[in-house]
């Protein structure tokens, strides 16, 4: 059985899908579809704030007051995984930045 967002009591979002939805003009539709079941973690909330200038579509989330409620804290058992992902993403961003400078 495939789990669908319409059946989930909570739909947890990461930053990249929200950015992509904003860039394709589908953010409002998805927010309307998910409604009050939408949620983000504290890390995602911080990442959205950091990226408001780079991805202005994310400002729509504040105007819509979405997702409702406070950002969720990651369960303790997932904190180490999240830290590992942050390290990998940071290294990848640094490499992309280095590659871009090298190709000038």
pLDDT in tens, 51-87: 999 999 999 999 999 999 999 988 888 778 777 777 7
Of 35 and 1, which is predicted with more confidence?
35
Q: What is the mean pLDDT of residues 78-100?
A: 72
Distance CA 69, CA 19 (A): 20
pTM of the model: 0.73
pLDDT of residue 62: 92
pLDDT of residue 84: 78
Mean pLDDT of the chain: 86
Cβ contact 59:27 at 8 Å: no
């Amino acid at each position: 059985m495939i789990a669908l967002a319409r059946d989930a009591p909570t739909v947890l979002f990461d930053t990249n899908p929200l950015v992509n939805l904003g860039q394709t003009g589908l953010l409002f539709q998805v927010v309307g579809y998910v409604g009050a079941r939408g949620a983000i973690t504290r890390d995602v909330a911080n990442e959205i704030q950091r990226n408001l200038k780079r991805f202005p579509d994310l400002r729509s989330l504040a105007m819509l007051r979405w997702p409702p409620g406070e950002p969720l804290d990651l369960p303790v058992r997932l904190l180490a995984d999240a830290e590992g992902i942050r390290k990998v993403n940071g290294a990848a961003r640094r490499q992309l930045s280095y590659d871009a400078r090298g190709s000038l």
